[in-house]
Amino acid sequence: MADDRPLLFFDSGVGGLSVLSPTRALLPAAPIVYAADNGGFPYGTRSEAEIAARVPALLGRLAERFDPRLIVVACNTASTIALAAVRAALDLPVVGTVPAIKPAAALSATRAIGVLGTEATVRQPYVDDLTARFAADCLVLRHGSARLVTLAEAALAGEPTDAADYAAVLAGLLDQPGGERIDTVVLACTHFPLVSDRLAAAAPRPIAFVDGGAGIARRVAHLTAGQAWPDAPGPGTAMFTAPRPIGDGLRASLGRYGLNHIAFL
């Protein structure tokens, strides 16, 4: 018997689309609800206390409305701050997003990696722990960029962005002492893989950019293995927490990810 319960993806904005895409590739029949907290955007410049209070409450409301079979917190900032509280509050599987430091360390030949995320993410003790566990023999430099989040949002909305802005973001990481050794950069914000091609084009030398999207997709597939799905999914829903105008450029981008229905919480 078909089960119409959706997978619910949650982010402050459009960044979680970088996690939705590989998940849809593995689970093409899965009904999808994508929830963007545009009313709280951006998370990266908010305090830990604000995020810790806001995210579990929002996800509780979304879970009640959509009855998802699984929630993906497709946001590094929300995951590193609020994931434990979300799991404690909800009686269903919750998959979080963590910086891909382990695969980056495995890939780096120079043993120097960068972590590019939001200000809130890069200062979290969780990043210290991942570094100690998986990259103890590496130089690990961090840079927090709210600007890159804004650039990714603009790009998905179909607005022009300047290559110099991407170069400036990278300079914040690569110009640190030891930054000239970096050969691998962790994209520790789900927004950033959406513009990884632009980052690569702006980089002063070849750099590998690593994110956790594919690993999260495999985790979702594992947790839902053996479950029933509809024969074919209906239009995916993009849910926004604030009733602000959604421009044609963003609507078109959402449509490319199968999100053809727009709703507000």
Using one digit for the tens of pLDDT, what is the confidence trace for 66-95? 999 999 999 999 999 999 999 999 999 999
246: closest CA among 260, 236, 234, 235? 260
In a domain, 174, yes or no: yes
Last residue of a domain, which of 192, 211, 230?
Answer: 211
Which letter, b or e, does each residue of 64-102 get, where b requires 16 or more Cβ atoms within 10 Å of its Cβ? eebebbbbbbbbbbbbbbbbebbbeebeeebbbbbbbbb
Question: In this predicted model, what pLDDT tens digit does every residue of 3-49 receive, in sequence order?
Answer: 899 999 999 999 999 999 999 999 999 999 999 999 999 998 899 99
248 and 197 inside one domain: no
**Residue 233: pLDDT above 80?**
no
Last residue of a domain, which of 211, 238, 253?
Answer: 211
Return the structure tokens found at 130. Answer: 């991942």
In a domain, 77, yes or no: yes
Q: Which residues pair with 264 in a beta bridge?
A: 240
Find the CATH number of the domain harbouring 147: 3.40.50.1860
Last residue of a domain, which of 195, 211, 227?
Answer: 211
pTM of the model as a whole: 0.96
In a domain, 1, yes or no: no
Domain that holds residue 71: 7-97+214-264
60 and 130 inside one domain: no
**Residue 250: pLDDT above 80?**
yes
Catalytic residues: 75, 189
132 and 49 inside one domain: no
**Roughly what angle, to the nearest 10 degrees, separates helices 17-26 and 213-223?**
50
Return the structure tokens found at 42. Answer: 């951006």
Q: How far is residue 237's CA from residue 222's CA, in Å, rounded to a whole number?
A: 23
Return the structure tokens found at 127. Answer: 């990043």
> How many domains, in total, are found in the chain?
2
**Residue 186: pLDDT above 90?**
yes
